[in-house]
Amino acid sequence: MTISNNQLRKMKSASRLYAVQALFQMEATGQTVDSIMREFETHRFGAVYEGDEMQEGDPDSFRAIMEMAVNEQASIDQMTDRALVANWPIGRIDPTLRALFRAAGAELLARSTPPKVVIVEYVDVAKAFFPETKEPKFVNAVLDHMAHEARPEAF
């Protein structure tokens, strides 16, 4: 089966959402990255919940985000801390946002996706988790700061 470029983009977008969910779940449950990745690839990608079919994810993109987020968590968290207001270290923010910043930070460090695409994609993820709130604007501002630090040559 051939996958169109549009379908691949949708799968990569879904993989970003799944990575945020998986990173959140890892932090909440203490599961290993390998067990989480297996669970998501086996049971979440394309799953049907209450009659709604979830988008199929791109396993390669998902694994790359997860592995980079876990392996580079300390440097990603430090970069996130520098982007946050001094009174709000990463440990004090919502765990979903923390997972989002780790996934986005992984993509920024990987350097395989343009920073502006990373920002737009993760702002969309924030909108999925926080519809009709100010969090997506907050995410945009933090990710913009992180992108300038991680990839200054791209701006």
User: What tens digit of pLDDT does each residue of 11-50 get?
Assistant: 999 999 999 999 999 999 999 999 999 999 998 888 877 7
**pTM summary value:** 0.93
Residue 92: pLDDT band (50, 70, 90) is: confident
What domains are defined for the chain? 5-154 (1.10.940.10)
Please report where in the chains the tokens 């799968």 appear, as a residue: 11
Output the CA torsion 144→54→128→36 (10° steps). -60
For CA atoms 124, 134, 91, 74, the dihedral sign is: positive
Q: Which two tokens stand for residue 74?
A: 């300390």
Q: Which two tokens stand for residue 110?
A: 């990987």
Please report where in the chains the tokens 């791209």 appear, as a residue: 154
Residue 87's pLDDT is: 64
Least confident of 17-26, 80-89, 122-131: 80-89
